[in-house]
Amino acid sequence: MKKIACLIAALALPFAAQAQYPDRPIRLVVPFAPGGVTDTSGRVVAEALSKRLGQSIVVENKAGASGNIGAQQVALSPPDGYTLLLGFDGSIVINPHVFANFPIDVQKDLAPIGKIGDAALIIVAHPSFPAKTLPALIELAKNDPKGVSYGTSGVGGTPHIAGELLKLRTGGNFTHVPYKGGGPAMTDALGGNIPMVFTAVAGAMTHVKAGRLVPIAVPSRQRVSSLPEVPTFIEAGLADFEATSWVAILAPANTPRPVVEKLNRELNAVLADPAIVARLEQLGIAATPGTPEQLGDQIRNDLDKYGKVVKAANIKAE
């Protein structure tokens, strides 16, 4: 009933009100706790976007259930452009497969506004780890009876899915070790308690540049500008292997098209600002302006791609 009421409200929204949008503050729901890379990138964009729209954008952290609670809250909000979601690929295209009771239908209940950018991942290892390249790592994982353990920020996150994809593509004996966040995993890697971690570039970059961790490879289409010496998985011999994390803005389904187009247009203008691009790069995020349709296509493709990995690896979350 609530969704029907929201749809009626959207259809009844006067054209004049759409033309004047926004005429009051906008709420951006971040489905994670404050302080992480996703949250910080959202705040950077929200600050710049509010200046272009002439209205404040209030960031509201709604953590819980790996992002599911915040996503559901936005999906059930009135589709008027005044409640937006900071979407993360883990919560948008992976959670639907790993949670048996995922609360929404992403493609039916949310409207893509636009992508903010791609956050590159990386495999880093303790200096004592014998494999220094991706081919050497794969060979070791295939031939060592004990296999190779890798840490991540937790079950079902993008690094975990990327690790399982590596296992499926290579046949290597990789064992996932989930941590309660990327920080603890990184601490154990630095201490040599786990041989390597699959993590975001932003969290590993300082340790790599200081020589405390050895970079193996990045699973992105191109090399990362902040670590240009690190090869991609594709360059290391795994054709078409790409597993990046992304951040985007979405709205409730049935948000009026003029509102979607205005938000997308202003978001793309923000992402064309060199100062914003530089701030995002410091977080390990490459700005990727585009259309709502392009974001929708990526969501659809990633749901299919990661769904196959989750099923093959039998990944489940409570």
99 and 127 together in one domain: no
Ordered per-residue pLDDT tens for the chain, 318 residues = 555 555 555 555 555 456 689 999 999 999 988 877 888 999 999 999 999 999 999 999 998 888 899 999 999 999 999 999 999 999 999 999 999 999 999 999 999 999 999 988 999 999 999 999 999 999 999 999 999 999 998 888 899 999 999 999 999 999 999 988 888 999 999 999 999 999 989 889 899 999 999 999 999 988 998 899 999 999 999 999 998 899 999 999 999 999 999 999 999 999 999 999 999 988 889 999 999 999 999 999 999 999 999 999 999 886
The two structure tokens encoding residue 111: 């409207």
Could you tell me if residue 148 is inside a domain? Answer: yes
Tokens of 310: 């989750």
Quickly tell me which residue has 């794969």 as its tokens: 138
DSSP 261-298: HHHHHHHHHHHT-HHHHHHHHHTTEEE----HHHHHHH
Together in a domain, 130 and 98? no
The confidence score (pLDDT) of residue 121 equals: 94
Where do runs of H (alpha helix) occur along the chain? 2-12, 15-20, 37-53, 68-75, 89, 95-98, 106-109, 134-143, 158-170, 182-190, 201-209, 257-271, 274-282, 292-313
User: How many domains does the chain divide into?
Assistant: 2
Q: Which CATH number fits the domain that encloses residue 274?
A: 3.40.190.150
Quick one: pLDDT at residue 283? 85
Residue 289: count of CB within 10 angstroms of its CB: 18
Same domain, yes or no, for 87 and 125? no
For residue 262, count other CB atoms closer than 10 A to its CB.
Answer: 19
Residue 228 lies in a domain: no
Same domain flag for 100 and 27: yes
Residue given tokens 């009100």 in the structure block: 17
| Nearest to 137, CA basis, from 265, 251, 276, 231 | 231
Amino acid making up residue 221: R
How many Å is the maximal CA-CA distance in the chain? 68
Same domain for 127 and 68: no
* pTM, rounded to two decimals: 0.83
Q: String of b and e for 64-79 (b: at least 16 CB within 10 Å)?
A: ebbbbebbbbbbebbb
Instruction: Confirm whether 237 is domain-assigned.
Output: no
Judge whether 318 lies within some domain.
no
Q: Is 163 a member of any domain?
A: yes
Q: Does residue 136 share a domain with residue 208?
A: yes
Does 90 lie in the same domain as 14?
yes
167 and 256 both lie in a single domain: no
C-alpha span between 241 and 150 (Å, rounded): 18
Cα angle 98-104-110, degrees, rounded to a multiple of 5 = 115
- CATH code of residue 165: 3.40.190.10
The answer on 273 and 128 residing in a single domain is no
Say if residue 103 is in the same domain as residue 64.
yes
For residues 279 and 173, give the distance between their C-alpha atoms in angstroms, rounded to a whole number: 38
Q: In terms of domains, do 88 and 150 share one?
A: no
Strands 245-252 and 83-88: antiparallel
Determine the structural domain holding residue 136 and report its residue range.
Answer: 121-217
Task: Tell me, yes or no, whether 225 lies in a domain.
Answer: no
Residue 73 within any structural domain of the chain: yes
Do 165 and 113 belong to one domain? Answer: no
25 assigned to some structural domain: yes
pLDDT of residue 17: 55
